[in-house]
């Protein structure tokens, strides 16, 4: 097995900065200047619309969202509208899918499989819904999947609610589904869930699904390797 890659935990990162970073990693991967990468992070409150995103699925008026300082981004991933915020682990795999067979449906299945395995590690039985992708527990959705693939390289990924304040999902019809509710690991188990335990499980299960030599890497170490302190800007700090 000669596949190799980096796993980078960014902590809490502004969505726009993380999106820019994804695109930079994508460019490096396309040019084969970088191996595959998994970015693990959380975002401050934000709403994103995918390629099928419909603003009619924003329940809260724009002035309410502005008052709450929740920005909206229309991005290239698949799917409709979703919310990201603290207490939700987001994983962005930037992979050359040609090395994994390059079948989009299989790739989405693999992302769902990672979430299902993480949930099992915590004693939660999740399920798939072929009509509504993502991962469900009973009739409530616990994780969303939305991907983009350009020049065979993946972007975006999965978002798993571990301790998310679910009230924020009332601002939208999540994934365009009016009658469905979101849930979280903390709500199901009735106890606090540590971020560290979730990211550890996610990292281990990612390695199992996407076999290869994965190395944990610090973002600053990579940027130093690239000699791109100035062009990347990095006025923000991962924490």
- Compute the residue count for the chain: 239
The pair of structure tokens assigned to 48 is 């994103």
Among the listed residues 151, 174, 149, 161, the one whose alpha carbon sits nearest the alpha carbon of residue 47 = 174
With H, G, I as helix, E, B as strand and everything else as coil, classify residue 51: coil
Angle at 64 between CA 62 and CA 70, to 5 degrees: 80
Residues assigned a catalytic role: 175
Cα–Cα distance list, 204 to 117, 124, 140, 177, 179 (Å): 10, 17, 25, 31, 34
Alpha helices in 122-165 (DSSP H): none
Residue 92 host element (H or E):
strand 88-94
Among the listed residues 209, 79, 127, 60, the one whose alpha carbon sits nearest the alpha carbon of residue 71 = 60
The pair of structure tokens assigned to 152 is 């065979």
């Amino acid at each position: 097995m000669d596949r190799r890659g980096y796993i980078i935990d960014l902590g809490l990162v502004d969505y726009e900065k993380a999106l820019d970073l994804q695109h930079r990693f994508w460019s490096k991967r396309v040019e084969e200047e970088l191996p595959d990468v998994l970015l693990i992070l959380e975002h401050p409150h934000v709403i994103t619309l995918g390629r099928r995103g419909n603003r009619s699925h924003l329940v809260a008026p724009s002035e309410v969202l502005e008052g709450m300082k929740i920005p909206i981004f229309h991005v290239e991933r698949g799917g409709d509208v979703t919310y990201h915020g603290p207490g939700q682990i987001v994983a962005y795999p930037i992979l050359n899918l040609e090395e994994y067979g390059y079948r989009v449906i299989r790739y989405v299945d693999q992302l769902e499989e990672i979430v299902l395995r993480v949930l099992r590690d915590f004693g939660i039985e999740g399920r798939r819904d072929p009509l509504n992708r993502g991962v469900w527990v009973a009739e409530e959705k616990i994780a969303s999947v939305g991907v983009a693939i350009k020049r065979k390289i993946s972007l975006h990924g999965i978002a798993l609610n571990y301790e998310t304040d679910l009230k924020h999902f009332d601002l939208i019809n999540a994934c365009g589904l009016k009658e469905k509710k979101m849930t979280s690991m903390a709500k199901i188990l009735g106890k606090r869930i540590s971020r560290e335990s979730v990211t550890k499980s996610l990292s281990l299960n990612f390695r199992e699904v996407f076999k290869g030599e994965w190395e944990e890497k610090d973002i600053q170490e990579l940027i130093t390797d690239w000699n791109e302190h100035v062009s990347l800007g990095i006025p923000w700090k991962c924490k």
